[in-house]
């Protein structure tokens, strides 16, 4: 299957090493903007620590809001790398080779950001170690029933697995970079290459390890987002206590992950001039995957709403009502438009499916998925079963700034990554194109 | 004596390894070096790996550790719970499940490092060749003066360059 351009070995190396040494004004401008936003978000977090969580807009009965939305959103996107890369690796899809590293890097950075959010939500962040189930001489033990302990265990495993899953195929490239670099880069690459010499024993071990890791990480990824969904579905809050939440969250996670991957790939293609490597075929294939996930997401969303509507439980129906034609209706219908209507129209019609429209769908799906997470969390919390306890919620500038900061942090981490490591696995590309 | 031969075609590498094996060289005495993985036909320089086994072992060990942790927490911690367990069944399932995954990852990585000679380099009789794009290097260790026969096999198979090193350098 001729899916990869047959570019000579030396040209592949030159093309993919170029971004490591060339720094444009545009790059530094973007780095500065993102750094300033992250700094502002950190300052807002510092202010929140100083003043307490009260300034975060939490108000009875809404004590989970923007931060939890961000948490579920980023953990969801993190499924881009592991699931897409692992599924395609296990399926033996050759076209995946220029795509996988970009996806795996998304996973690691999203998880880093996602894992930080429970700490932001903790308020007394210096007590973060209470999340860890450790024995304590002062008889203060963490609450093992708390979903925070589940999340901590799941995210720790997933982050460890994902970092290693990104790192393993980097090793051969790092060894090659070490022999062609100077200064601090040479030391860094040599250190990270951990003695790789390219022997058949090493290749054999790496291939087996990568296949195993793909299988393991795939299981962990599915379990992690299922655990995140259980944070909600284990509670008897209206429209949370649902058996469908596990697969619904996993589908949403893969959906938003593909959208993020499409955007990152479009950015890399444009800014790093990787047109020969990230071809329309890759976008077309990912566009089809995005369409499939959009249909699945719509099916789950409708199943969730229809069951509540037909069940007619008063507590749940009140939430449903406010979602469909009440206070939250504008958000709900925007979400449906972003996640289903637009992708269905643009990706479903072959003539309209191109890099630009796939990129547009990537943006709208990310917006739609953030709204979906917000609706899942805030809408039911605002309207508990007892109508007398209903309340309101509005985000404050602190929450908005910290949320903006997470997006800037993601871009910043990626900008740093593409300047230190080749964003496409050179050996995997050569192996696929010439092997 | 250590011979390092450079090849540009995988078929030639396969031929060289087959004839070296026929000459009595074992798999441990032959090593290939390349910048991309070399796919040899089945039966030619097959390497055994225990990474899968270690992944399963790692998962079992971690599951046992998680179970022990939960058991000792339930029984040794003097918290008054009115008969309720400290851990719920749900938490036990999640914590154990995730620890199984972490154990499998740890087993895989540790065995990869061991089998690949990464971090703790395996003893080599000579320096590994500097890799070249598109080339495959076949390195043969000839401890008992069989270098002439080995060089003959490599040349006949189509080696474009053969270099000799003294072992231990």
* pLDDT digits 0-9 by tens, A249-275: 999 999 999 999 999 999 999 888 888
Beta strands in chain B, from DSSP E residues, in sequence order: 2-7, 30-34, 136-141, 161-165
Tokens representing A339? 């996640």
DSSP A129: G
The shortest C-alpha distance from A379 to chain B (Å) reads 26
The predicted structure's pLDDT at residue B86: 72
Per CB-CB distance under 8 Å, the chain A contacts of B38 are 200, 203
Q: Which residues pair with B5 in a beta bridge?
A: B138, B162
Grouping H, G, I as helix, E, B as strand and the rest as coil, residue A274 is: coil
- Scan for tokens 């989970």, then name that residue: A64
> What is the distance in angstroms between the Cα of B2 and the nearest Cα belonging to chain A?
15
Asked if residue B143 lies in contact with residue B90, where contact means CB atoms within 8 angstroms, the answer is: no
CB contact under 8 A, A161 and B101: yes
Summarize pLDDT for A360-376 with one digit per residue, the tens.
Answer: 999 999 999 999 999 99
Please list, in sequence order, all residues whose beta carbon lies within 8 angstroms of the beta carbon of residue A151, skipping any fewer than 6 positions away: A118, A227, A228, A231
Q: Confirm or reject contact between B78 and chain A (CB < 8 A).
A: yes
User: Taking the CA of residue A127 as centre, how many other CA atoms within 13 Å lie in the half-sphere pointing to its CB?
Assistant: 9
Q: Give the pLDDT of residue A1.
A: 41
Question: Measured between CA atoms, how close is A26 to chain B, in angstroms?
Answer: 33
* Nearest residue in B to A218, CA atom: B101
Compare CB distances from A201 to B47, B88, B94 and report the shortest one's residue.
B47
Cα–Cα distance for residue pair A72/A117, rounded to 1 Å: 10
How far does the CA of residue A144 sit from the closest CA of chain B (Å)?
6
A435 pLDDT band, cuts 50/70/90, is low
Nearest Cβ partner for A427 among B36, B52, B121: B36
In the predicted model, what is the mean pLDDT of residues A340-350?
94
pLDDT, position B66: 87
**pLDDT exceeds cutoff 60 at A137:** no
**What order of strands is seen across the sheet that includes strand B2-7?**
B30-34, B136-141, B2-7, B161-165
Q: What angle do CA A153, A156, A158 make, to 5 degrees?
A: 105
Radius of gyration (C-alpha) of chain B in whole angstroms: 25
On chain B, the residues whose CB falls within 8 A of the CB of A142 are none
Token digits of residue A184: 């601090």
Alpha-carbon span A100 to B21, nearest angstrom: 38
- Nearest CA-CA distance, residue B152 and chain A, Å: 22
Q: Is B91 on the interface with A (CB under 8 A)?
A: yes
Q: What is the mean pLDDT of chain A?
A: 89
In chain B, which residue's Cα lies nearest the Cα of A142? Answer: B86
| Rounded CA separation A166/B127 (Å) | 29
Task: Please state the separation of Cα A405 from the chain's center in Å.
Answer: 15
| 3-state secondary structure at position A284 | helix
Of A139, A160, A209, the CB nearest to B102: A160
Tell me which of B122 and A341 has the higher pLDDT: A341
Dist CA B17 CA B41 (whole Å)? 11
Q: What is the mean pLDDT of residues A119-133?
A: 82
C-alpha A238/C-alpha A27 separation (Å) is 47
Contacts with A, B 103-132, CB within 8 Å? 104-105, 108-109, 111-113, 115-119, 121, 128, 130-131
In this prediction, the residues of chain B whose per-residue pLDDT falls under 50 are 169
DSSP for A352-399 reads: G-SHHHHHHHHHHHHHHHHHHHHHHHHHHHHS-SSGGG-------HHH
Q: pTM here?
A: 0.90
> Which residues from A are below 8 Å from B99, CB to CB?
153, 157
Residue of B nearest to A173 (CA): B35
- Position A18 pLDDT exceeds 60: yes
> Which pLDDT score, from 0 to 100, does residue A368 have?
96
Ranges A244-253, A406-415, B137-146: which has the least confidence: B137-146
> Among all residues of chain A, which has the CA nearest to that of B50?
A205
Residue A373 to residue A30: CA distance in whole angstroms: 28
Contacts of A213 in chain B (CB under 8 A): 105, 108
Contact A237, A386 (CB under 8 A): no
Could you give the CA distance from residue A71 to residue A86 in angstroms, rounded to a whole number?
Answer: 23
Task: Label residue A431 exposed, middle or buried (CB < 10 Å: 0-12, 13-18, 19+).
Answer: buried
Percent of chain A with pLDDT over 70: 95
Q: Which residues of B touch A157 (CB under 8 A)?
A: 98-99, 101-102, 105
User: What span, in angstroms and rounded, lies between the C-alpha atoms of A54 and A62?
Assistant: 12
Q: Quote the CA–CA distance of A147 and A234 in Å, as a whole number.
A: 9
Which of B98, B109, B119 lies nearest to residue A157, judging by beta carbons?
Answer: B98
Give me the total of CB pairs closer than 8 Å, taking one residue from chain A and one from chain B: 158
Q: What is the pLDDT, as a whole number, of residue B100? A: 94
In a mutational test of the A interface, the residue from B48, B101, B127 whose CB has the highest number of chain A CBs within 10 Å is B101
Record: contact A171-B118, CB cut-off 8 A: yes
* pLDDT score of A71: 93
Q: A202 or A22, which is more confident?
A: A202
Give me the interface pTM, i.e. the ipTM: 0.90
B52 and chain A in contact, CB less than 8 A: yes
**Beta carbons within 10 angstroms of residue B148's beta carbon:** 10
Q: Hey, are the CB atoms on B52 and A135 less than 8 Å from each other?
A: no
Residues of chain B contacting A144 with CB distance shorter than 8 Å: 73, 86-88, 91
Q: Which residues of B31-47 are buried (b: 16+ CB within 10 A; e: fewer)?
A: bbbbbbbbebeeeebee
How many beta carbons lie within 10 A of that of residue A354, not counting itself?
15
Inform me whether the pLDDT recorded for A136 exceeds 80: no
For the cut 50, the answer to whether the pLDDT of residue A2 exceeds it is: no
Task: Supply angle C-alpha A301, A71, A342, rounded to 5.
Answer: 40
CA atoms within 13 A on the CB side of A414: 27
Distances (CA, A) of B68 to A142, B40, B71: 18, 46, 5
Predicted confidence at residue A172, as pLDDT, reads 92
Q: Are A281 and A2 in contact (CB under 8 A)?
A: no
Find the angle CA(B128)-CA(B50)-CA(A95) to the nearest 5 degrees. 70
Kindly list the residues from chain A whose CB atom is less than 8 angstroms away from the CB atom of residue B73: 133, 135, 141, 144
Q: What per-residue confidence (pLDDT) applies to A66?
A: 92
């Amino acid at each position: 299957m001729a899916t990869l351009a047959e570019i000579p070995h030396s040209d592949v190396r030159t093309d993919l090493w170029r971004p490591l040494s060339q720094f444009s004004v545009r790059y530094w401008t973007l780095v500065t903007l993102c750094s300033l936003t992250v700094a502002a978000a950190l300052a807002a977090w510092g202010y929140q620590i100083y003043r307490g969580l009260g300034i975060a807009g939490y108000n009875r009965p809404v004590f989970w809001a923007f931060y939890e939305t961000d948490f579920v959103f980023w953990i969801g996107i993190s499924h881009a790398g592991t699931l897409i890369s692992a599924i395609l690796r296990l399926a033996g899809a050759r076209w995946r080779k220029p795509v996988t590293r970009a996806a795996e890097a998304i996973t690691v950075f999203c998880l880093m950001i996602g894992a930080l959010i429970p700490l932001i939500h903790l308020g007394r962040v210096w007590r973060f170690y209470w999340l860890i189930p450790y024995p304590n001489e002062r008889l203060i033990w963490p609450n093992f029933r708390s979903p925070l302990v589940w999340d901590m265990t799941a995210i720790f495993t997933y982050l460890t697995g994902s970092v290693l899953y990104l790192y393993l195929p980097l090793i051969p490239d790092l060894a090659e970079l070490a022999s062609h670099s100077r200064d601090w880069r040479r030391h860094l690459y040599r250190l990270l290459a951990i003695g790789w010499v390219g022997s058949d024993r090493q290749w054999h071990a790496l291939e087996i390890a990568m296949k195993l890791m793909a299988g393991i990480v795939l299981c962990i990824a599915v379990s992690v987002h299922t655990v995140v969904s259980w944070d909600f579905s284990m509670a008897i809050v209206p429209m949370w206590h649902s058996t469908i939440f596990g697969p619904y969250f996993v589908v949403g996670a893969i959906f938003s992950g593909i959208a993020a991957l499409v955007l990152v790939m479009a950015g890399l293609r444009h800014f790093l001039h990787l047109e020969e490597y990230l071809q329309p075929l890759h976008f077309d294939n990912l566009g089809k995957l995005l369409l499939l996930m959009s249909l699945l997401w719509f099916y789950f969303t409708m199943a969730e709403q229809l069951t509540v509507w037909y069940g007619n439980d008063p507590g749940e129906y009140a939430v449903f009502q406010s979602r469909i034609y009440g206070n939250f209706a504008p958000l709900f219908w925007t979400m449906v438009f972003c996640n289903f209507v637009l992708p269905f129209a643009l990706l479903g019609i072959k003539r309209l499916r191109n890099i630009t429209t796939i990129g547009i769908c990537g943006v709208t799906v990310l917006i739609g998925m953030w709204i979906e997470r917000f609706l899942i969390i805030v809408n039911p919390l605002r309207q508990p079963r007892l109508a007398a306890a209903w309340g309101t919620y509005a985000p404050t500038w602190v929450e908005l700034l910290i949320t903006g900061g997470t997006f800037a942090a993601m871009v910043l981490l990626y900008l740093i990554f593409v300047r230190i490591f080749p964003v496409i696995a050179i050996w995997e590309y050569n192996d696929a194109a010439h092997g | 004596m250590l011979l390092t031969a450079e090849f540009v075609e995988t078929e030639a590498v396969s031929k060289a390894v087959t004839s070296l094996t026929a000459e009595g060289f074992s798999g441990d005495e032959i090593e290939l070096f390349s910048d991309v993985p070399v796919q040899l036909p089945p039966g030619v320089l097959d390497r055994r790996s225990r990474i899968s086994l270690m992944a399963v072992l790692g998962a079992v060990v971690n599951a046992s550790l998680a179970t022990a942790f939960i058991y000792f927490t339930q029984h040794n911690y003097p918290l008054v719970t009115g008969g309720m367990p400290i851990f719920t069944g749900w938490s036990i399932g999640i914590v154990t499940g995730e620890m199984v995954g972490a154990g499998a990852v740890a087993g895989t990585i540790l065995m990869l490092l061991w089998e690949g000679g990464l971090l703790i380099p395996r003893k080599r009789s000579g320096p590994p060749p500097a890799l070249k794009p598109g080339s495959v290097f076949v390195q043969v260790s000839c401890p008992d003066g069989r270098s002439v026969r080995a060089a003959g096999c490599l040349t006949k198979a189509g080696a474009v360059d053969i270099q000799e090193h003294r072992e231990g350098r």
